[in-house]
Structures are given as structure tokens and as C-alpha cells.
A and B are shown apart, each in its own frame.
Chain A
Amino acid sequence: KAGVTQTPRYLIKTRGQQVTLSCSPISGHRSVSWYQQTPGQGLQFLFEYFSETQRNKGNFPGRFSGRQFSNSRSEMNVSTLELGDSALYLCASSLGTAGEAQYFGPGTRLLVL
């Protein structure tokens, strides 16, 4: 079974721009979660989507948003990029039922200049 895939793998943007990252979950997985990882803050939960609905949300500003499509693929968008948004963005998928482990993709490394 193919793993979680994320595109693009690397991205360079400038301040003020916006960016859209894509995540394709493992086949059959209905839950997709997004995380931001930085050296200073570690791994931080952004949000989780299940059956096209946002089910959980972390403590990030409204510039960070996401959505999930009917095929469970998910996108996250960051508007008005700031230098501090430079990070590794990770997507994880799971079946979405209680107690299930999450399976992470390789991440998208975003650099904001």
C-alpha cells in the first residue's frame, strides 16, 4: 500500500505571498492531520480533517487554513506568509477511528524569504 505523499517537497516563497500544500493520504484513510515543525517550537498540531470536515484545530492564526476533498486528499493554505512560517509541514493520515495510529508523509519544507 502506498504511503502518505506530500507535494511539493520543497518550496521557497517571499513574505506576503500565499502557499498551498497538498497531501494524499493512504488509501482508505479518511482522516488527515497537518503539523508544523520548527527547531524552536518542535512539532505543533495545525488541524485535522475527517470526511471533509475540520474536526480539530490547533492554536494557529487564521492565516492557516485547510480543506479536504471527497477522496480524502487534503490541502493546507497559508496566506500572507511571514518569515516565521518557514518550517517543515507534515501531513499524517489515519482511518480516523479512536485509537488509530497516524502515518506521516515526508513533509514539505517551506522557506520564506
Chain B
Amino acid sequence: LAKTTQPISMDSYEGQEVNITCSHNNIATNDYITWYQQFPSQGPRFIIQGYKTKVTNEVASLFIPADRKSSTLSLPRVSLSDTAVYYCLVGDRDNNNDMRFGAGTRLTVKP
């Protein structure tokens, strides 16, 4: 399984765009990239998933360069409620639920 590396923590201010980058140098051909958000004492919540190029949904965008060795989660105009831990996971399509969570990135949004 490909290992992921993310910044331990990030700070931002309300209304700003936040970009969290995840490195996954050993990503395999069949691997896809998924991001989750977790609030204290709650289960992680799926945010977005992609395989290559760019994916956008109502809450975030995921940018994946051509070599797929990294990916960037973009959160537009964050608010205080976006303060959470964000996890990047790289998953094998053949074992899609054998997922390894890293330490995640603790995002703190300040007023």
C-alpha cells in the first residue's frame, strides 16, 4: 500500500481558500485517492475522491497532477466549522477497503 505524507497542521482564516497537499510517491496504477474529514469524537466523513486530473464537488476540489505522486485538496472560503482533521488515503482498487489512515492534517480556521 502506498504511504501518504501530509502536513501535521495548518492554520487559516475564515473566508480564505485552503490547499492541503498529500504526497504519495509510491502510488500504484490501480490506486485512487480519497480525502476524509473528521471532527472530534466523530467518525470520518467522506469529502472527495479521484483517480487523475481534477474532481470537484459541492464542498471541495481535488487536484491530481499527471504523475499522481501527490494530490491537493482545495477548500474554498473556509469557515470556523471547517476546523477538523483531514486525511488523505490512497487505496488499491482490488482491496478498496484495506485502507490505511495516516496522521492527517489538523486544520484550524481562525476568525
Contact = CB atoms under 8 A, between A and B. Distances in A.
**A, B co-complexed:** yes
Interface of A: 4, 31, 33, 35, 42-45, 48, 50, 55-56, 58, 88, 90-92, 94, 96-107, 109
Given A43-B87, A101-B34, A94 B97 contact: yes
B43 A105 contact: yes
Contacts of A107: 41-43
A99 B43 contact: no
15 contacts: A31-B97, A33-B97, A42-B103, A44-B101, A48-B97, A55-B95, A56-B97, A90-B44, A91-B43, A98-B94, A99-B93, A99-B96, A104-B44, A106-B43, A107-B43
Interface of B: 32, 34, 41-46, 49, 51, 87, 91, 93-104
Contacts, number: 65
Contacts of B102: 42
Nearest to B92: A98
B88 to A, nearest CB: 12
A94 to B, nearest CB: 6
A19 to B, nearest CB: 19
Nearest to B103: A42
Contacts of B98: 45, 48, 56, 58
A98 B45 contact: no
Contact of B101 (A43, A55, A101): A43
The 5 closest A-B pairs by CB, nearest first: A104-B43, A43-B101, A56-B98, A98-B93, A101-B46
Q: Which of A31, A45, A91, A102 has the most CB of B within 10 A?
A: A102
A107 B49 CA distance: 23
A80 B49 CA distance: 38
B104 A42 contact: yes
Nearest to B95: A56
B105 to A, nearest CB: 12
B41 A43 contact: no
Given A42-B101, A42-B104, A43-B87, A102 B46 contact: yes
A22 to B, nearest CB: 15
